[in-house]
Amino acid sequence: MTTLETPETQQRTGPRTAAEALDAARDHLLLLQSPEGWWKGELQTNVTMDAEDLLLREFLGIRTGEDTFESARWIRSQQSADGTWANFHDGPPDLSTTVEAYVALRLAGDLPGAAHMGRAAAYIRSEGGLPATRVFTRFWLAMFGRWPWDELPVLPPEMVFLPRWFPLNVYDWACWARQTIVPLTVVGALRPVRPLPFTLDELVPDYDVPRKGKRGLPGWDEAFGALDKALHVYQRRPLKGLREAALRRAGEWIVARQERDGSWGGIQPPWVYSLLALHLLGYGLDHPVIRRGLDGLERFTIRDEMGRRLEACQSPVWDTVLAMNALADAGLPAGHPALERAAEWVIGEEVRGPGDWSVRRPGLPPGGWSFEFDNDCYPDTDDTAEVVIALNRVEHPRAEPAIERGVRWMAGMVSRDGGFGAFDADNTRGLCRKLPFCDFGEVIDPPSADVTAHVVEAMSHRGMADSLLVKRAVVWLLKAQEPDGSWFGRWGANHVYGTGSVVPALIAAGVRPDKPVIRDAVGWLRRHQRDDGGWGEDLRSYRDRTWVGHGASTASQTAWALLALLAAGERGPVVERGVRWLVEHQRPDGTWDEDHFTGTGFPGDFYINYHLYRLVFPLSALGRYLRQAPSPRAGADAAAPGELNGESKESS
pLDDT digits (tens, 9 = 90+) for 23-41: 999 999 999 999 999 999 9
pTM of the model: 0.92
Q: Which of 590, 610, 452, 584 lies closest to 15 in space, CA to CA?
A: 584
| 211: confidence class by pLDDT, cuts 50, 70, 90 | low
**Each residue of 587-613: pLDDT tens digit?**
999 999 999 999 999 999 999 999 999
Interhelix angle 18-31/316-329, nearest 10 degrees: 140
> Per-domain residue ranges for the chain?
20-43+313-434+444-644, 46-199+208-310
Encode 266-293: b = buried (16+ Cβ within 10 Å), e = exposed: bbbbbbbbbbbbbbbbebeeeeebbeeb
Query: Looking at residue 14, what is its pLDDT?
Result: 54
Q: What is the mean predicted confidence (pLDDT) over 540-558?
A: 97
pLDDT of 452 above 70: yes
How far is residue 600's CA from residue 489's CA, in Å, rounded to a whole number? 9
pLDDT of 437 above 60: yes
pLDDT of 340 above 60: yes
Q: What is the mean predicted confidence (pLDDT) over 368-389?
A: 96
Higher-pLDDT residue of 219, 125: 125
Query: Looking at residue 652, what is its pLDDT?
Result: 28
Query: Looking at residue 224, what is its pLDDT?
Result: 74
> Do the domains 46-199+208-310 and 20-43+313-434+444-644 match in fold?
yes
* Mean pLDDT for the chain overall: 92
pLDDT of 22 above 90: yes
Q: What is the mean predicted confidence (pLDDT) over 218-246?
A: 86
**Each residue of 268-279: pLDDT tens digit?**
999 999 999 999
Q: Which of 591, 592, 624 lies closest to 30 in space, CA to CA?
A: 591
Contacts of 141 (CB under 8 A, 6+ apart): 103, 130, 133, 147, 200
pLDDT of 105 above 70: yes
pLDDT of 170 above 70: yes
Q: What is the mean predicted confidence (pLDDT) over 74-83?
A: 97
Contacts of 173 (CB under 8 A, 6+ apart): 181, 427, 432, 443, 444
Query: Looking at residue 33, what is its pLDDT?
Result: 98
| 496: confidence class by pLDDT, cuts 50, 70, 90 | very high
Specify whether the CB–CB gap between 292 and 404 falls below 8 A.
no
pLDDT of 493 above 80: yes
pLDDT of 18 above 60: yes
pLDDT of 643 above 50: no
pLDDT of 630 above 70: no
Q: What is the mean predicted confidence (pLDDT) over 211-235?
A: 72
Query: Looking at residue 290, what is its pLDDT?
Result: 98
**DSSP designation for 640:** -
Instruction: Among 113-117, 524-528, 628-632, 648-652, name the one with the lowest average pLDDT.
Output: 648-652
Query: Looking at residue 435, what is its pLDDT?
Result: 85
Query: Looking at residue 220, what is its pLDDT?
Result: 65
Query: Looking at residue 97, what is its pLDDT?
Result: 98
The 3-state DSSP class for residue 239 equals coil
Question: What amino acid positions are annotated as catalytic residues?
Answer: 382
CATH class of 20-43+313-434+444-644: mainly alpha
Q: Which of 380, 403, 404, 379 lies closest to 393 in space, CA to CA?
A: 403
How far is residue 214's CA from residue 135's CA, in Å, rounded to a whole number? 10
pLDDT of 412 above 60: yes
Q: What is the mean predicted confidence (pLDDT) over 496-523?
A: 98
Query: Looking at residue 648, what is its pLDDT?
Result: 32
| 210: confidence class by pLDDT, cuts 50, 70, 90 | low
Instruction: Among 342-351, 493-502, 638-647, name the one with the lowest average pLDDT.
Output: 638-647
Query: Looking at residue 609, what is its pLDDT?
Result: 98
pLDDT of 154 above 80: yes
pLDDT of 449 above 60: yes
Q: What is the mean predicted confidence (pLDDT) over 425-454?
A: 92
pLDDT of 178 above 60: yes
Query: Looking at residue 508, what is its pLDDT?
Result: 98
| 207: confidence class by pLDDT, cuts 50, 70, 90 | confident
User: pLDDT over 90 for what percent of the chain?
Assistant: 88
How far is residue 440's CA from residue 177's CA, in Å, rounded to a whole number? 11
Contacts of 66 (CB under 8 A, 6+ apart): none
CATH class of 46-199+208-310: mainly alpha
Q: What is the mean predicted confidence (pLDDT) over 101-114?
A: 97
Query: Looking at residue 629, what is its pLDDT?
Result: 60
Specify whether the CB–CB gap between 519 and 525 falls below 8 A.
no
pLDDT of 166 above 50: yes
